[in-house]
Amino acid sequence: MLCQVKYVIKKCCVLGKLVLGGHVLQKGECRPLADQRYMNLKRESILKASQPERQVKQLTKAVTSYKPVSDHKFNIEYEQKKKAEGRKARDDKDKVMDMLFAAFEKHQYYNIKDLEKITRQPVPYLKEILKEICNYNAK
């Protein structure tokens, strides 16, 4: 009696792994030969599994550690600068318009934050003036 074995090996589209497809007609078991290579392989895997993942490591030089501070130097300087500027007060409308026209002579388009820095005016006041004198694009 002639027995023909048919099987299909294909690549799984979801996982990208090789898949063996077909129907099981007879159960088969495979065991490796208990030779020296197999025993060495098993010994290495057991030793690797028995070692802890984290190990103590001695450092050659001291680690520089930083003490916690309540506020960093940069933040302190920023707060002092902000206090020195004070709150943004609304200037005369004509004066603000002159600053805006001078800015728009340099560039055609500006971000509202950039205009706020140039004129040192509150954003709602700037928006109010811009809506009166130009086409204000709020994108």
For 37-52, the pLDDT digits (tens) are 999 999 999 999 999 9
| Half-sphere CA count of 135, side-chain side, radius 13 A | 3
Residue 130 lies in a domain: yes
- Domain enclosing residue 129, as ranges: 89-138
Average confidence score pLDDT of the chain: 84
8 A C-beta contact, residue 108 and residue 98: no
Q: Residue 38: what pLDDT?
A: 94
CATH of the domain at 106: 1.10.10.10
Tell me the CA distances in angstroms from 79 to 9, 83, 104, 123, one per residue in order: 68, 6, 31, 20
Which H or E element spans position 112?
A: helix 112-119
Let me know if residue 70 belongs to a domain: no
More confident residue, 20 or 104: 104
In a domain, 94, yes or no: yes
Any domain includes 119: yes
At residue 45, the pLDDT reads: 96
For residue 43, CA distances in Å to 50, 73, 101 come to: 11, 57, 82
pTM as predicted: 0.41
Mean pLDDT of 81-109: 86
Identify the weakest region by mean pLDDT among 3-7, 29-33, 121-125: 3-7
- Cα 124 vs. chain centroid, distance in angstroms? 33
38: in domain? no
Q: Is residue 51 assigned to a domain?
A: no
Question: What's CA 108's distance to the chain center, in Å?
Answer: 34
Residue 28 lies in a domain: no
Is 12 inside any structural domain? no
Query: Radius of gyration of the chain from Cα atoms?
Result: 38
Identify the pLDDT of residue 1: 47
Number of domains in the chain: 1
